[in-house]
Structures are given as C-alpha cells and as structure tokens.
Amino acid sequence: MQDGVVLTTLDDFLNWGRKNSLWPMTFGLACCAIEMMATGAAKYDLERFGCGAFMATPRRADLMIVAGTVTLKMATRVKTLFEQMAEPKYVISMGSCANKGGPYWQHGYHVLKGVDEVVPVDVYVPGCPPRPEALIEGVMTLQKKIANERLLRNKWVKHA
C-alpha cells in the first residue's frame, strides 16, 4: 500500500483517540507523588486532558508516570509493572530523582540513577518536585509525540 491520504487520516484518527485518553497508573513513590496528586485535584485538573481515570492496575493503564526516587530494591518491581502493561504504553519520568538520581546522586548507594536504566522513557519532566504546570507540559509533550506516530503506516507501507 502507498503512503497516501487514507492511511494518514486513519493514523491521525487513531493517534487522536489514544493521545486524548491516556490513563495513568498510580505510581507515586515519594514527594513527586504529592505533586501528581495535586495535579489530579481540583485546581490543576488533569482530567481535562483525558487522564482522569487513575488506574491502580497496570493491565488497564497506558501511561506510567514514575514520580519519585527509584531505589534498587524497587527497580525490579518497576520493570515487572512496566512489562505487565499492554502495548502501546508510554513512560513519563517525573522529577529529578527519576531522571538521573536527583539530589541523591553522589552518595546514594541504594538509589537508581534514573529510571531509564530499567525502563524506556518517553518524556522527562525536570524539577524537584516539578510544579503541576510542568507535569501538564510533560503530558502535552507526550501528546505531541503520540500525534506523530505512524502506527498503521509502519505496518502496511513498504518503503523501497
């Protein structure tokens, strides 16, 4: 099949559906979890982006917001939970502890220096803790990334 109008529109339609209903998994580990809860509360509403239903189980979620420090003891569980999520799945690394180890990078013998050692990350949100507006910007960046995906085109279009 050719890379034409039909496939592009279908792709846009699927991407639109997926990016506007990202269901996050509650994965609050430390202080960033409080800011994530504040983002989900009434003042900075995350529900208007479609992320209203915070699923506790990974089987029904498509977004994992890793909020907080990941320790070595917890890292194997993060990986297990990520593998239990169904495709297509995305990861936002929230806060500087999840990005690169945070303030505990120098002498933290038990701190994993960034969650991208165990799990592939799509968007990094810096801050300690990031403001709710920063997390919302992270979610919007992820939405822009999803809008550029080529789900059907990658499957059906053969490039020369």
Partner 1 sequence: MLNVDLNKLAELLNNQISGANATVHFPEDLKKCDPSLTVEASKIFQVAQFLKSHPETPFNSLHVISGVDYVDWMEVAYVLTHYSLENPRQMILKVKLTDRVNPVLDSIVKVYAAANFQEREVFDMFGIRFNNHPDLRRILCPDDWKGWPLRKDYVAQKDYNGMAVYPDGKMNFEDREFIIRQDMIKKAQEAKAH
Partner 2 sequence: MQTRWDIGEPERPTINEETEQLKSDLLTLNMGPQHPATHGVLRIEIWTDSEIVAHAIPHLGYLHRCMEKHAENLDFRGVIPFVDRLDYLASMNMEWTYVAAIEKMLGTEVPRRGELLRIMTAELQRIGSHLMAFGTYALDLGAFTPFLYAFEEREKILRLFEEVSGARLLYNYIWIGGVWNDWTDEQLERVSQFCDTMEIEAKKYHELVSMNKIFVQRTANVGVFSLDDCFNYGASGPVLRGSGLKWDLRKVAPYSLYPEFDFDVPVGEGEVGVVGDCWNRYYVRMKEVIESIKIIRQVLNKLEAGPVMGKVPKVIKLPKGEVYLRHECPRGELAFHLVSEGDAKKPYRLKVKSPCFTHISMLPHVAPGQMIADFVATVGSIDIVLGEVDR
Binding site residues, partner 1, CB under 8 A? 72-73, 75-76, 100-101, 105-106, 109-110, 112-114, 117-118
Binding residue count for partner 2, defined by CB under 8 A: 33
Q: Which of 53, 128 has the CB closer to partner 1?
A: 128
Beta carbon of residue 29, minimum distance to partner 2 (angstroms, whole number): 6
Q: Taking CB under 8 A as the rule, does residue 151 contact partner 2?
A: no
For residue 129, what are its two tokens? 């803790």
Q: What DSSP state is assigned to residue 93?
A: E
Return the one option of partner 1, partner 2, none that residue 100 interacts with (CB less than 5 to 8 A, by type). partner 1
State the Cα–Cα distance between residues 84 and 96, nearest whole angstrom: 25
Return the one option of partner 2, partner 1, none that residue 103 interacts with (CB less than 5 to 8 A, by type). partner 2
Least Cα distance to 94 among 76, 61, 111, 116 occurs for 116
* Cα–Cα distances in angstroms (integers) from residue 59 to residues 52, 56, 90, in the given order: 16, 9, 13
